[in-house]
């Protein structure tokens, strides 16, 4: 963490992260752990989760979970709470940005997009709320996307879900603020992860992206995690109901 902020208020906080075994999610896990938080995370990828756990040492908890299964996700949150204590920081990170031509999209494919990208945000938030209320407050950070603002083609379900996250974040912030629960969304631009490099971030695509941004440099997972740390900390105690964009000046 040398050269970047540390947040004493995050020490010993119990943080629950969805999709935490790889990509941006793994960076969330390690970043909160480095701040002294107790970190629980779920993911479908058993091997990746186990590998990350081996690097973390203590104050960490991992369980495989299909977040589209409401009972499984609720059960995982309850188990994490039992193992580490009441969850007072939730990072709703899990997502899938598979591309598909909208005219060729079936209702089943549409429903699958929402089941992965939107439903778990509500389910996990609903599950942690009683813990946060009991603890006297908490923070929910929902990972959205600038695609909800831009509306790119071939991402109809994903974009609809991310737009839903933005609106849901405002509603939860207003409804749960009385209990000291803050809720914000953060909207990254094109973050360089192994998945993006493997599937879509070609040299040509990156060159086009660089033409559209003010800051001519890559957005890294660490950039997103640092914003999440701030939003989860007491330093941002009066920030709620916001969608904070981190895209190098694209929008």
Q: Which of 158, 176, 190, 209 is catalytic?
A: 158
Structure tokens at 76: 């995982």
Q: Catalytic site residue 158?
A: yes
CA count, 13 A, side-chain hemisphere, 62: 26
Distance separating alpha carbons of residues 80 and 36, to the nearest angstrom? 17
CB contact set of 7 (below 8 Å; sequence gap of 6+): 35, 229, 230, 232, 233, 234, 235
Please say whether the dihedral angle defined by the alpha carbons of residues 179, 166, 197 and 99, taken in this order, is positive or negative.
positive
Phi-psi region of 117 (alpha: psi -120 to 50; beta: other; left: phi over 0): alpha
Q: Which residues of 190-214 are buried (b: 16+ CB within 10 A; e: fewer)?
A: bbebeebeeeebeeeeeeebeeebe
- Active-site residue set: 158
């Amino acid at each position: 963490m040398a050269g970047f902020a540390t947040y004493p208020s995050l020490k010993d906080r119990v943080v629950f992260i969805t999709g935490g075994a790889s990509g941006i999610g793994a960076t969330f896990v390690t970043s909160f752990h480095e701040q002294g938080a107790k970190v629980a995370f779920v993911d479908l990828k058993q091997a990746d989760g186990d590998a990350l756990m081996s690097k973390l040492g203590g104050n960490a908890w991992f369980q495989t979970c299909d977040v589209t299964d409401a009972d499984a996700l609720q059960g995982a949150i309850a188990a994490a709470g039992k193992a580490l204590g009441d969850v007072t920081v939730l990072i709703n990170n899990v997502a899938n940005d598979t591309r598909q031509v909208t005219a060729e999209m079936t209702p089943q494919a549409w429903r699958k997009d929402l089941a992965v990208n939107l439903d778990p945000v509500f389910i996990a938030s609903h599950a942690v709320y009683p813990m946060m209320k009991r603890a006297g407050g908490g923070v929910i950070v929902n990972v959205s996307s600038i695609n909800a603002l831009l509306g790119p083609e071939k991402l109809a379900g994903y974009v609809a879900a991310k737009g839903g996250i933005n609106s849901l974040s405002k509603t939860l912030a207003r409804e749960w603020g009385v209990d000291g629960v803050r809720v914000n969304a953060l909207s990254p631009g094109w973050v360089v992860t192994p998945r993006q490099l493997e599937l879509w971030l070609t040299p040509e695509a990156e060159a086009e992206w660089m033409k559209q941004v003010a800051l001519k440099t890559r957005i890294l997972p660490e950039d997103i995690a640092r914003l999440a740390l701030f939003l989860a900390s007491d330093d941002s105690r009066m920030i709620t109901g916001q969608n904070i964009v981190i895209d190098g000046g694209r929008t």
